[in-house]
Amino acid sequence: MSKIKIAIIGYGNLGKGVECAIKNNDDTELYGIFTRRDPASLSPLTEGASVFSVNSILEHKGKFDIAVICGGSATDLPVQTPAFAENFNVIDSFDTHANIPLHFKNVDEAAKKGGNIAVISVGWDPGMFSINRLYSECILPDGNSYTFWGKGISQGHSDAIRRIEGVVDARQYTIPVESALSAVREGKNPELSTREKHTRECFVVAEEGADKERIASEIKNMPNYFADYDTTVHFITLEELKKNHGGIPHGGFVFRTGTTGFDNSTKHVIEYSLKLESNPEFTSSVLVAFARAAVKLHSEGVTGCKTVFDIPPSYLSSKPYDELIATML
Amino acid sequence: MSKIKIAIIGYGNLGKGVECAIKNNDDTELYGIFTRRDPASLSPLTEGASVFSVNSILEHKGKFDIAVICGGSATDLPVQTPAFAENFNVIDSFDTHANIPLHFKNVDEAAKKGGNIAVISVGWDPGMFSINRLYSECILPDGNSYTFWGKGISQGHSDAIRRIEGVVDARQYTIPVESALSAVREGKNPELSTREKHTRECFVVAEEGADKERIASEIKNMPNYFADYDTTVHFITLEELKKNHGGIPHGGFVFRTGTTGFDNSTKHVIEYSLKLESNPEFTSSVLVAFARAAVKLHSEGVTGCKTVFDIPPSYLSSKPYDELIATML
């Protein structure tokens, strides 16, 4: 059986993660990496991997099964995914929740025009967390849903700190509040404010002689990012930052608490949690599993934009259906 | 919009749970209850609910959208599900894991013959646990899966104790071993024997003058059921049993621990857990959500036997797709 040929567009942390996930799945192979940079400047992890300029991608039409678009959600994916969906099956991890309906519409039009399939917003949130929110709300319609993130590095918040004058580098951890987790887990259905759900812990390297008090105050009072949270700021050296905060861990929890019974007096708690040593590597692994599903759906004639909500679980697996129901059901 | 008409076949704990779940979903309504008993002897929870003899069910062909078959897996469902699938869309909670492939085959033939859809093995295990095993194995192909059950009442084990001479009544709790859960959760990938995963705790009401030592010994040494486990036996009064052990709670944990990265050195832990005050009411709630999905699939022309692995998550919801991607993705 021929392997699923996957192209990677964009070679940052996510692109490298996809490269690893392709290697770790027996039925997938790397077609090549497309980059906006000079192809000669890239050193893929995979020996002998092809690197192409993204400008030449149309020359590769029909040569691979699907492209994983590994750009950022702010400016890359809203342009790239519709553009590439016209000519290729594609999948992305678009994660700006508020803009998903618009992104869906744009990608759907492009994919249908080209007769391709495009799966958007694949990863863990949006992605596996979304799937769990949906399943559990359908099972327990009378109930409450809670999503907590962390403990993990928030790239957006780390970037925001780095833009403050006098900051050399920074890492920001989002941490769920233990007492809030416990209250939810015990089925107490608490109403939780933003501040009560998560705290933010910042590790900051300041320039020599910088006013640390001002930096800490600017962080803690930054609107949207930090002002609504209890925020702790630690100043550390660049060496400490590299040694102790070099990873990109993340994770979180999705809860549904609800009731059943004729008078809704029977309680249930559904909990889904992830503890990830590498956010981009896990996201990439979800992307490759759904890329497999997308290629299968396209081979059955399905086109247009799809999300994780549209994909039957069995399509994610490389195993025959008979084996799945005999061993995993 | 007309509601989904659901029939219930069999009115035990599961049938009553389905009746409650139908009430708790806005888009479903109870068509009627079919029973092997004298219909006049049943007192449904729902005022005015119709009760029919199961022998008259063919007279109701075409009058409801789907029947939830609430029989037992040992002897009822292997016969009932194929028989009813020839004339109706059906769904069951068949949970004898080893016999699922055979049950699938029999039901598939019958459902296809009748042009109906039949969804089998729906509940939490098989069911939601199976879905989580499948998703997480596809995302982390390099890893280990663990399923723990409990703390909860095992009906089969409670029945086995009740068959011992001198026993009036009994309840058996299956309890996951905390240290095993912790080792898995920490990503230690332990190899666990049957004894190391679960313990069994029994609450037994003995006849007056019965030899408690013999009863305890018969329980602890019962092959398959107890001999491979650390089992505790408590003798209590019938009053205590009714007061403190009258519920049917259950639950459990599905874990996948695995690695990603070019040299598979990055660790991840996926955990799904359920804490259920009523095993049959939760199972029923899963059944009704998948009944909705089955009716939608059948309206699109899908026939034959299906499992939870075949159903796209969005089909479980009564909400429009646009709303799902705007609010839950």
A with B: how many residue pairs have Cβ under 8 Å apart? Answer: 203
Contact B289, B316 (CB under 8 A): yes
State whether B282 and A272 contact (CB < 8 Å): no
B185: its two tokens: 């959760």
For residue B149, what pLDDT band results from cuts at 50, 70 and 90?
very high
Place of tokens 């939490």: B124
Q: What angle do CA A124, A292, A61 make, to 5 degrees?
A: 115
pLDDT at B56 (0 to 100) = 97
pLDDT by residue, tens only, chain A of 329 residues: 799 999 999 999 999 999 999 999 999 999 999 999 999 999 999 999 999 999 999 999 999 999 999 999 989 999 999 999 999 999 999 999 999 999 999 999 999 999 999 999 999 999 999 999 999 999 999 999 999 999 999 988 999 999 999 999 999 999 999 999 999 999 999 999 999 999 999 999 999 999 999 999 999 999 989 999 999 999 999 999 999 999 999 999 999 999 999 999 999 999 999 999 999 999 999 999 999 999 999 999 999 999 999 999 999 999 999 999 999 99
* Phi, psi dihedral angles at B174 (to 5 degrees): -95, 130
Q: 3-state SS of chain B?
A: CCCEEEEEECCCHHHHHHHHHHHCCCCEEEEEEEECCCHHHCCCCCCCCCEEEHHHHHHHCCCCCEEEECCCCCCCHHHHHHHHHCCCCEEECCCCHHHHHHHHHHHHHHHHHHCCEEECCCCECCEHHHHHHHHHHHHCCCEEEEEEECCEECHHHHHHHHCCCCEEEEEEEEEECHHHHHHHHCCCCCCCCHHHHEEEEEEEEECCCCCHHHHHHHHHCCCCCCCCCEEEEEECCHHHHHHHCCCECEEEEEEEEEEECCCCCEEEEEEEEEEECEHHHHHHHHHHHHHHHHHHHHHCCCCEEECHHHCCHHHHCCCCHHHHHHHCC
- What does the mean pLDDT of chain B come to? 97
Spatial distance between the Cα atoms of B18 and B282, rounded to a whole number of angstroms: 9
Q: Give which of A136, A144, A133, A271 is closest to B274, Cα–Cα.
A: A271
Query: What pLDDT is attached to residue A252?
Result: 98
Nearest residue, CB atoms, B270 vs list A100, A274, A314: A274
At A6 the pLDDT is 98
Nearest residue, CB atoms, A139 vs list B187, B285, B312: B285
| Chain A residues lying within 8 Å of B20, measured CB to CB | 260-262
* Helices A128-139, B279-299: crossing angle, 10 deg rounding: 110
As for the ipTM of the complex, it is 0.96
Sign of CA dihedral A137, A140, A145, A147: negative
Supply the angle between the helices B279-299 and B13-23 in degrees, to the nearest 10.
60
Residue type, B319: K
Mutation choice for A interface testing from B139, B153, B296, B297 by most A CBs within 10 A: B139
Across the interface, of A17, A260, A281, the residue whose CB is closest to B285 is A260
* Residues 130-189 (B) with a CB less than 8 A from some CB of A: 130-135, 137-142, 187
Average pLDDT over residues B245-263: 97
Nearest 5 degrees, angle CA B326-CA A187-CA B13?
A: 95
Token pair of B186, please?
């920490």
Phi/psi zone of residue B58: left (φ > 0), alpha (ψ -120 to 50 degrees), beta?
Answer: alpha
Cβ of A309 and B309 within 8 Å?
no
Q: What share of chain B in percent tops pLDDT 90?
A: 98
**B27-66 residues touching A, CB cutoff 8 A:** 45
Rounded alpha-carbon distances, angstroms, from residue A2 to A109, A117, A232, A321, B140: 30, 20, 53, 18, 22
| Yes or no, beta carbons of B313 and A20 under 8 Å apart | no
* DSSP-based three-state secondary structure for A228: coil
Asked if residue A18 lies in contact with residue A42, where contact means CB atoms within 8 angstroms, the answer is: no
Name the maximum alpha-carbon separation found in chain A. 67
Which two three-digit tokens encode residue B11? Answer: 């009115």
Contacts of A177 (CB under 8 A, 6+ apart): A196, A197, A198, A199
Judged by a CB distance cut-off of 8 A, whether residue B260 touches chain A is: yes
Q: In the prediction, which pLDDT does B173 show? A: 97
CB-based contact B91:B118 (threshold 8 Å) = yes
Q: Return d(Cα A9, Cα A84) in angstroms, integer.
A: 10
The whole-angstrom distance between B323's CA and the closest CA on chain A is 9
A170 by DSSP, 3-state: which? strand
User: Which pLDDT value is given to residue A114?
Assistant: 98
CB contact under 8 A, B139 and A329: no
The pLDDT of B84-107, averaged and rounded, is 97
Question: In this complex, is the C-beta atom of A126 within 8 Å of any C-beta atom belonging to chain B?
Answer: yes
The pLDDT of residue B227: 95
Q: How confident is the model at residue B226 (pLDDT cuts 50, 70, 90)?
A: very high
The DSSP H or E segment spanning A78 is helix A77-85
pLDDT at B1 over 80: no
Cα dihedral B195→B199→B203→B204 (10° resolution) = 0
The pLDDT score that the predictor gives to residue A307 is 98
Nearest to A313 by CA among A285, A287, A293: A293
pLDDT bracket for residue B323 (50, 70, 90): very high
pLDDT at A38: 97
Residue the block writes with tokens 């910042």: A202
- Tell whether A128 is within 8 A of chain B (Cβ): yes
What distance in Å separates the CA atoms of residue B112 and residue B115, rounded to the nearest whole number?
Answer: 5
Task: Sort A207 into a burial class: Cβ within 10 Å, 0-12 / 13-18 / 19+.
Answer: exposed
Shortest CB distance from A328 goes to which of B26, B133, B316? B133
The pair of three-digit structure tokens given for residue B40, joined into one six-digit string: 């006049």
- Phi-psi category of residue B228: left, alpha or beta, with phi > 0 → left and psi -120 to 50 → alpha: alpha
Which amino acid type is present at position A93?
S
Q: Name the strand (E) or helix (H) holding A239.
A: helix A238-244
User: Which strand ranges, in their side-by-side order, compose the sheet holding A90-92?
Assistant: A51-53, A28-35, A4-9, A66-69, A90-92, A117-119, A304-306
CA distances to A31, A294, A315 from A308, rounded to whole Å, are 24, 10, 11
What pLDDT does A93 receive? 97
